[in-house]
Amino acid sequence: MRLKSLLALSLFTLSAHAAELTLSDAVYVHQLDNQEVKNYLWNKTDKLELSPGQHQLKVSYSWIFDDGFESHTKVTVDEHWITLDIPKDGNYLLTTPELIDIDAAEKWAKTPKFVLETAKGKTLAAVAPRPDAPPPPPAPAAAPVTVDGTNMAEQQLQYWWSQADAATRARFKAWLDKQH
């Protein structure tokens, strides 16, 4: 019972130390720091969990505008790197300035700036993209989450190891060996 309580507490503690970044419909994130973000044809990633601090995102923009003549025009911005500073835990939105028509969108696409807002609509930053800048190396790992001196990540690994069958343990060992 104590293990279940510790596991539940650790999951709550881990989720309590993250900011949620919602992406507007036309904004796509392809990479977050050094991790690829999957977007599928009918299923776009629209929320990301971030820790407070600086993050590198590879973003693009794509939206179809009705041009008023029973036809449509697609406006796109190719993948670019942006740097976001997430000030603290909470909910944020990554969007564009209000693009009310195709003329505004095409003008914006020439020199795009993405906008980071709070959940209440307060603008925190307008972020200009960098076309070819790779992200800096990952930040050092955060200190482990502990409860009463117990490392929760280690506790979770031990729990899941004890639940795994022999084949799963073998696959995990093989994966772990590749990480060094």
Model pLDDT for residues 118-160, shown as the tens digit of each residue: 988 899 888 888 866 655 555 666 667 777 777 878 888 888 8
The C-alpha atoms of residue 173 and residue 37 are separated, in whole angstroms, by: 25
Please tell me the predicted confidence (pLDDT) of residue 115.
Answer: 92
β-partners of residue 55 are: 84
CA angle 38, 44, 46 (to 5 degrees): 100
Please tell me the predicted confidence (pLDDT) of residue 150.
Answer: 76
Of 16-25, 28-37, 53-62, 99-108, give the lowest mean pLDDT range. 16-25
The C-alpha atoms of residue 78 and residue 127 are separated, in whole angstroms, by: 15
